[in-house]
Amino acid sequence: MQRLTLTAAVPRLARPLPAGVPAIKAPAGLLLPVLLLAAWQVATTAHLVAPELLPPPAQVARTLLALARSGELGRHLAATLGRLGVGFAVGAAAGIVLGSLTGAAPSARRLLDPLIQGLRSVPSIAWVPLFIIWLGIAEGSKVALIAVGAFFPVYLNLMAGIAAVDGRLVDVARMHGFRPLGVLTQVLLPASLPALVTGLRGGLGLAWMFVAAAELMGASEGLGFLLTDGEQTGRPEVVIAAILLFAVLGRLSDWLLAGLARRMLPPA
């Protein structure tokens, strides 16, 4: 019965985060994009902006439709989503492992955290030459760059979340015979689940930014390739279409992750 009391106490520490995973209200959230779209349409219709610099929304929509009909859009989406999925999974897994270790063990935190914090300050573009030398220009270097982007938010949030868990819960767990791994999996990780969710959402957002950078370095397919191709061929409608796809897909993936988090976290 005491063990049940211990594990039942853990979720209560996780309840404040649902405020950090807000329910998405579509009408309010769509208001500003609709207004921006209307302003864009007005600016192009009134010739306030040259069409070769900012094509009208209808032209961008026709470009997306043509890419979809030709199958080119599906190919680029599959390439980007595949790279993003693998890179995010690798980076998040590494962040969870090291964040758990440094959060639960102060000695590991003193040993590893200064180095990781220093690496966090390295600009993303600085990793590109090294990854190309190590892994070549193919998929490996792109996935590695995306993983770096996803790693740091997951690591930092989880480490801070575990370190902030009430030490009395850990003491009670040890009194009831929990081994270190059991303390981590049964007490620390459940109690720091809100921080982990925040880190995963941050890591996913950075993964989307890093996948664009990764696909600018020698990719032959992907939304980043569309950006480069549109710039090199002087087609702003292709560039804008790729940017809009990044925005929509990034928001959709965050919405899905937030919905999953609401299912995982206990109700307030």
Q: How far apart, in whole angstroms, are the C-alpha atoms of residue 117 and residue 201?
A: 20
Q: How far apart, in whole angstroms, are the C-alpha atoms of residue 184 and residue 188?
A: 5
Kindly state the tokens that stand for 81.
């989503």
In our burial notation (b when 16+ CB lie closer than 10 A, e otherwise), range 171-202 reads: ebbeeeebeeeebbebbbbbbbbbbbbbbbbb
Structural domain harbouring 138: 73-264
> 23: Cβ–Cβ under 8 A, 6 or more apart, which residues?
262
Residue 161: CATH number of its domain: 1.10.3720.10
What is the per-residue pLDDT across 206-242, written as a single tens digit (0 to 9) for each?
999 999 988 887 788 999 999 999 999 999 999 999 9
Q: How far apart, in whole angstroms, are the C-alpha atoms of residue 139 and residue 79?
A: 10
Kindly state the tokens that stand for 101.
């270790």
25 occurs within a structural domain? no
- What is the arithmetic mean of pLDDT over 67-73? 95
* Closest by Cα among 215, 254, 261 to 87: 215
pTM of the full structure: 0.84
155 occurs within a structural domain? yes
Q: How far apart, in whole angstroms, are the C-alpha atoms of residue 39 and residue 191?
A: 46
30 occurs within a structural domain? no
What is the per-residue pLDDT across 161-206, written as a single tens digit (0 to 9) for each?
999 998 888 878 788 778 878 888 888 999 999 999 999 999 999 9
Return the CA Rg of the chain: 22
64 occurs within a structural domain? no
Lowest mean pLDDT among 74-78, 166-170, 205-209, 256-260: 166-170
DSSP 18: G
12 occurs within a structural domain? no
What is the per-residue pLDDT across 147-168, written as a single tens digit (0 to 9) for each?
999 999 999 999 999 999 988 8
C-alpha separations of 167 from 163, 170, 171 in Å: 9, 5, 6
129 occurs within a structural domain? yes
Name the domain count of the chain.
1
91 occurs within a structural domain? yes
**Residue whose token pair is 């850990």:** 170
130 occurs within a structural domain? yes
Residue type, 154: V
